[in-house]
Amino acid sequence: MESRSRRLSFLSRHKDLLSPQKQAVARWLLEEWAPFGQSIPRQLRRRVWELFPYDLTDSSAGERVLRDLVLELLSHHKLQIADRTRAKSSGGSRRGRRLTIGWSGRER
């Protein structure tokens, strides 16, 4: 599924913006669930059960958690993600930019 791979790629790029508990879930999604389809470990379920309002033992829990984490990133960290995307597309460096205020560029 292409959208699943795109969501996983998006999550891997921006998981550092999540809370530490949700970062642990994101790591599980990227390292265990995506390649092997493993269910969420009991220890992790016990730590994060209050963050997700559904049964984490369900077979569709991985998809739901992935969707929720991506939606959280997009809704709460939209500006940081946009800045990262802009910096990446412009070469990754903001150094060397100058802001000239009050000069129109015309010679008098």
46 C-beta neighbours (distance < 10 Å), count: 9
Tokens, residue 94: 């903001």
- pLDDT on residue 85: 85
Higher pLDDT, 77 or 91: 77
Higher pLDDT, 36 or 105: 36
CB 90 within 8 A of CB 39: no
pLDDT of 104 > 80? The answer is no
Higher pLDDT, 80 or 108: 80
- Where does 1-108 show beta strands of DSSP type E? none
- pLDDT on residue 108: 46
Q: State pLDDT tens for residues 31-88.
A: 999 888 888 889 988 888 889 888 888 888 899 999 999 999 999 999 999 998 888 8
SS3 5: helix
